[in-house]
Structure 1
Amino acid sequence: MKSFFISFEGPDGAGKSTVVAQVVRELAPRLKTQYLVTREPGGSEIAEKIRQMILDPANSKMAAKTEALLYAASRSQHMAEVILPALAAGKMVFSDRFVDSSLAYQGVGRDLGIAQVKQINDFATSGVEPDLTLFLDVKPEVGLARINRLRPHAEDRLEQEKLTFHKKVYQGYQEICQANPQRIKIVDASRNFTQVVADCIKIIENSLPIDFIKD
């Protein structure tokens, strides 16, 4: 049974969660297949508990390798419980973040190396990759300003990192996008929300197999 896996990526403040929700809301009536919306880190009971540990600002002493391994552990559980069963059942899967986040945040942001972080995530996912990734492109300064405006004093541990860290993460995403032009499509997320959603839907419609969407 044919399935399709879409991930949404972007720096903090890119608006991924809001965009995913609206994209699915608008696409759902036209889909011929069942679908699942999930997120990372998290997406299942055990994975959500690991998420809490990773993002808790109180865990300021967490080592970079520990952080990378926890993300991979959360992803492994998420794959086993949620994503792989959905794909096996022929569903469309929409995920707010996936492996590319670890490559950018831990591989580049934490200086662990993209290849090294990819290796542990290939083990966690058995090499499964999204069929399509939408990168919501927004400069770190803009994204962090959005967070401060919408959620003042409520940042998680990674959002609280200095601008220099977020700039490195953004550069990591640029490298990943350049290395995967067939899979990753870039959407300018600095524009009006309606325009961003419309662009995402157009890219998805042009990427989906013909038997997935109604005329």
Structure 2
Amino acid sequence: MAGLFITLEGGDGAGKTTQSEMLAGWLEERGHEVVRTREPGGTTLGVELRKLLLHGGSVDPRAEALLYAADRAQHVATIVRPALERDAVVVQDRYIDSSLAYQGAGRVLNVEDVRRISAWATEELQPELTVLLDIAPEAAAARRVARGGTADRLESEATEFHQSVRDGFRALAKADPHRFLVLDATLPPEELHLQIVGRVSALLSR
């Protein structure tokens, strides 16, 4: 496939939405078709699964992992792969690494089991760049409070859960440094944006 697949990862409140918006705008200014999307919720099916996963009642950890994988399979088949095949740049909020961090490290499921489920669901599609916006759980929680609104089911988890998720993301980045760009999410948004587009520029010029 000729397109470029970029994902943004990190805990809730890390600033993924802000950076994906800025990156999409930068790419569009340079003439690229950009498909900006997210998981869960990037498809009609995903919208319904998002409601269940983030705003529904209690979900068993294994069921949770399978529902995320179902969303991901539909999303890749109907949105991501078609975009890449027509040479678009996909800028996506969350992907497989979120499942490995949240359901693996956070829910204490076997990470390799979660990885296998998602690999099968996506036919092993991997992003060429994953931007990890790293932030301490306490700082992320303060941001969520400042922006208002009702916390979803994952955001409402204890600090210990969010610390496990952060540790999970960091471990993933350490194991795959070629794919990951790890940034301090407390830096000014403009500074983060410059670091991201520096890496993306190198990929586009290959």
Q: TM-score range by the shorter chain?
A: over 0.9
Which secondary structure does the structure 1 equivalent of 2:124 belong to? coil
1:137 paired to 2:134? yes
Distance 2:12 2:190 in 1: 19
1:113-192 equivalences under 5 Å are 113-152=110-149, 154-192=150-188
The structural deviation recorded for 1:50 is 0.6
1:213 is aligned to none
Distance 2:89 2:122 in 1: 17
2:104 is aligned to 107
Which secondary structure does the structure 2 equivalent of 1:148 belong to? helix
Question: What residue ranges of structure 1 are gaps of 5+ in the alignment?
Answer: 211-215
Distance 2:35 2:59 in 1: 32
1:28 is aligned to 28
What is the aligned counterpart of 2:92 among 72, 92, 95? 95
Residue 11 of structure 1 aligns with an amino acid whose one-letter code is G
1:75 paired to 2:79? no
Residue 106 of structure 2 aligns with an amino acid whose one-letter code is G
Residue 122 of structure 2 aligns with an amino acid whose one-letter code is T
Distance 2:19 2:148 in 1: 17
Contact map agreement 1:42 1:75 (CA 8 A) in 2:
no
Residue 161 of structure 1 aligns with an amino acid whose one-letter code is E
1:17 is aligned to 17
Distance 1:84 1:30 in 2: 22
What is the aligned counterpart of 1:198 among 152, 177, 194? 194
Distance 1:137 1:24 in 2: 20
TM-score normalised by length of structure 1: 0.92
Q: Report how many residues are paired.
A: 206
Which secondary structure does the structure 1 equivalent of 2:5 belong to? strand
What is the aligned counterpart of 1:65 among 62, 65, 75? 62
Please list the CA deviations of residues 50-92 of structure 1 after superposition, one character each: whole Å capped at 9, or x if unmatched. 1111001x41x21000111111011111111101111111211
Contact map agreement 2:27 2:34 (CA 8 A) in 1:
no
Residue 11 of structure 2 aligns with an amino acid whose one-letter code is P
Q: CA RMSD in A?
A: 1.2
Residue 10 of structure 2 aligns with an amino acid whose one-letter code is G
Distance 2:181 2:189 in 1: 17
1:53 paired to 2:52? yes
Residue 68 of structure 1 aligns with an amino acid whose one-letter code is A
- Structure 1 stretches of at least 4 aligned residues deviating more than 4 Å after TM superposition: none
Contact map agreement 2:10 2:135 (CA 8 A) in 1:
yes
The structural deviation recorded for 1:12 is 1.0
The structural deviation recorded for 1:27 is 2.7
Question: What residue ranges of structure 2 are gaps of 5+ in the alignment?
Answer: none
Distance 2:71 2:192 in 1: 29
